[in-house]
Amino acid sequence: MRIAFLGGGNMASALIGGLLKKGVDASWISVIEVSPAARERLAARHGVRASTAPDAATQKADTLVLAVKPQDLRPAAAALAGSVRGKLVAGVRLEALSRWLGGHRKLVRCMPNTPALIGAGISGLYALPEVSQDERKRTQTILGAVGEVVWLSEERLLDPVTAVSGSGPAYVFWFIEQLAESARKMGIPADAASKLALHTVLGAARLAAGSEESPAELRRNVTSKGGTTEAALKVFDEEQLAQRFARALEAASRRGADIGAELGKG
């Protein structure tokens, strides 16, 4: 499996590192990156070949990963038009990308998230019908190198996926902030408050991931009638926190759809 990356930033580096750990030989991976510093970093860290422009390695690749910012995809696609033979993995609406590539249809759209940088991410994926089962498996191998993978039956579902898992880490970071800040306001020293908040979230997530019980069941297990947890959860209900949270995710999903439409023009 020959893989080429267009862009050598943090996400590409994480994917490359994950692939190498899974046994993919560095000689089968190439990177197109304009930044000399990034090329040097990739060569030193991963031992992969990096060039400044598409070349023979790009054309021979079974899979080309467009690891650039969405706003940079159109010029990147224009540079590749007519030269791509394999499957492409990217993060923009596929009809637009296909148009920019001169009609190329072996395309997969992905939405990873930042925990992929430590191998603990999750990616939502959607493939056009022209992508074969073997090509889907190769895509899953690449994204699976940095975490879990969820395949979607419709591309439009990537907008809510972006709201849930793409933006989700920021919500968790915000919750950790608020938990620690509330602890400080109640007199707990700052360093202890931060440690308590962080490890509470980390431990709860690990408990939920390893349990056969649902998060709702785990919550009920901790909530004694008339106890402290019930008192806090009652305030959440009174403040309609669940409804507000749902509205926040809907706003993120709508914004994702708007951005996709804006980027796909022309």
What is the pLDDT, as a whole number, of residue 90?
Answer: 66
pLDDT at 83 over 70: no
For the cut 90, the answer to whether the pLDDT of residue 148 exceeds it is yes
- Does residue 55 register a pLDDT over 90? no
CATH of domain 168-258: 1.10.3730.10
Residue 208 sits at the vertex; the CA angle it makes with 207 and 214, to the nearest 5 degrees, is: 140
d(Cα 128, Cα 262) in Å, to the nearest integer?
Answer: 21
Residues 118-130, mean pLDDT to the nearest whole number = 96
**Cβ atoms of residues 165 and 110 within 8 Å:** no
Instruction: Please give the torsion angle defined by the CA atoms of residues 258, 263, 264 and 266, in that order, rounded to the nearest 10 degrees.
Output: 120
- Domain locations along the chain: 3-153, 168-258
172 pLDDT above the threshold of 90: yes
Mean pLDDT, the chain, whole residue set: 92
pLDDT tens-digit map of 187-226: 999 999 999 999 999 999 999 999 999 999 999 999 999 9
Question: Average of pLDDT values for 137-156?
Answer: 95
In the predicted structure, residue 59 carries a pLDDT above the cut 90: no
Q: pLDDT band at residue 42, thresholds of 50, 70 and 90? A: very high
pLDDT of residue 191: 98
Q: Is 82 a residue whose pLDDT tops 70? A: no
Res 10: pLDDT:
92
Q: How many residues make up the chain in this entry?
A: 266
80 pLDDT band, cuts 50/70/90, is confident
Residue partners of 130: CB distance under 8 A and separation at least 6: 105, 106, 107
Looking at 3.30.450.20, 3.40.309.10, 3.40.50.720, 3.30.420.340, the CATH number of the domain 3-153 comes to: 3.40.50.720
Query: Which pLDDT value is given to residue 84?
Result: 65
- Identical fold for domains 3-153 and 168-258, yes or no, is no
Three-state SS for 57? helix
pLDDT band at 107 (very low <50, low <70, confident <90, very high): very high
Least confident stretch, 77-81, 176-180, 228-232: 77-81
Q: Is the pLDDT assigned to residue 58 strictly greater than 80?
A: no
